[in-house]
Amino acid sequence: MKTNILVIGGTGKTGRRVVEQLQNKGIEPRIGSRNASPSFDWDNKDTWVNALQGIEKMYVTYYPDLAVPGAKEAIQSLTYLAKELGVKKMVLLSGKGETEAEACENIVMDSGIDYTIVRASWFNQNWSESFFLEPILSGEVALPMSDVLIPFVDANDIAEVAATVLIDDSYNGEIIEVTGPELITFKQIVDIISKASDRRLNFYEITLEQYVDGMKQMQIPNDVVWLIEYLFSHVLTNPKNQLVVSDIERVLGRKAKPFMEYAIETAKTGIWNQISVI
């Protein structure tokens, strides 16, 4: 059935999974993306009114991240418009340990609209759907900070939590922190993926400066380079990020998915056994 729920970023990493979770519950949300009808484009505020028309609840994920310049202003404008148009509740996907993201959280929390903040650690799917995939495919993985412990979290767990708190108003006013069930290093992750995919992967410890230079040489867009440098230099080392939190179990009644389980499932898709294009 059609509903009054909007999923902004509904074709993205978490958004499309939130849509699937809602559909599994018999709910057909409105997709908030540039190619949807009505369309939603963060860079074109003229699209926002039609996308929000008649909406009571919305899931909001900002691409590429709430930490990037301009995100705070966009969230402020969207939240103001949402309130004007009668939106009753927002679920905002945020990042653990990101000062800029917390400023965006505060905008939503102070808006007078009911809210739930879903504050996530780094995604497992960064290794299969994002910027860590190419090094895995090449077999040569060079990363800084190889010994930093990170509670990587599965995007499917994030989406299930987001869909749950979107529908269940008992979580209104809460900050839900979603992490995986264990702390794990980049080096350990590469070893796990190597075993799961039955491939030899070489891991190299490099400096952050070398990593940034490498991204620039690969002509990765400047805003993405900035974001990744920020995440490595400010977020990974934040003590808030080196904690396992049990909120997934509290909301879903089950434990979060371990990285090993994600790796075994993902290896079966063959994504890590493709030939690198570089």
Q: What is the pLDDT along the chain (278 residues), one digit of tens a residue?
A: 557 999 999 999 999 999 999 999 999 999 999 999 999 999 999 999 999 999 999 999 999 899 999 999 999 999 999 999 999 999 999 999 888 999 999 999 999 999 999 999 999 999 999 989 999 999 999 999 999 999 999 999 999 999 999 999 999 999 999 999 999 999 999 999 999 999 999 999 999 999 999 999 988 888 889 999 999 998 888 888 889 999 999 999 999 999 999 999 999 999 999 865 54
Half-sphere exposure of 39 (CA within 13 A, CB side): 9
What is the CB neighbour count within 10 angstroms for residue 233?
Answer: 13
Query: Does the residue 133 lie in any domain?
Result: no
Total domains in the fold of the chain: 1
Token digits of residue 44: 């074109």
Query: Does the residue 11 lie in any domain?
Result: yes
pTM of the model: 0.95
Query: In this predicted structure, what is the pLDDT of residue 220?
Result: 86
Tell me whether residue 175 is exposed, middle or buried, using C-beta atoms within 10 angstroms of its C-beta: 0 to 12, 13 to 18, 19 or more: middle
Contacts of 165 (CB under 8 A, 6+ apart): 91, 116, 118, 171, 174, 176, 251
From residue 37, give the alpha-carbon distance in Å to each of 8, 17, 46. Answer: 13, 19, 14
Handedness of CA 89, 93, 98, 101 (dihedral sign): negative
Token digits of residue 215: 């991204």
Query: Does the residue 268 lie in any domain?
Result: no
Query: In this predicted structure, what is the pLDDT of residue 2?
Result: 57
Query: What CATH number is given to the structural domain containing 35?
Result: 3.40.50.720
Domain that holds residue 29: 2-121+152-180+242-257
Query: Does the residue 40 lie in any domain?
Result: yes
Query: Does the residue 223 lie in any domain?
Result: no
Query: In this predicted structure, what is the pLDDT of residue 278?
Result: 46
Query: Does the residue 141 lie in any domain?
Result: no
Query: Does the residue 17 lie in any domain?
Result: yes
Residue with tokens 């970023």: 9
Query: In this predicted structure, what is the pLDDT of residue 70?
Result: 93
Query: Does the residue 218 lie in any domain?
Result: no
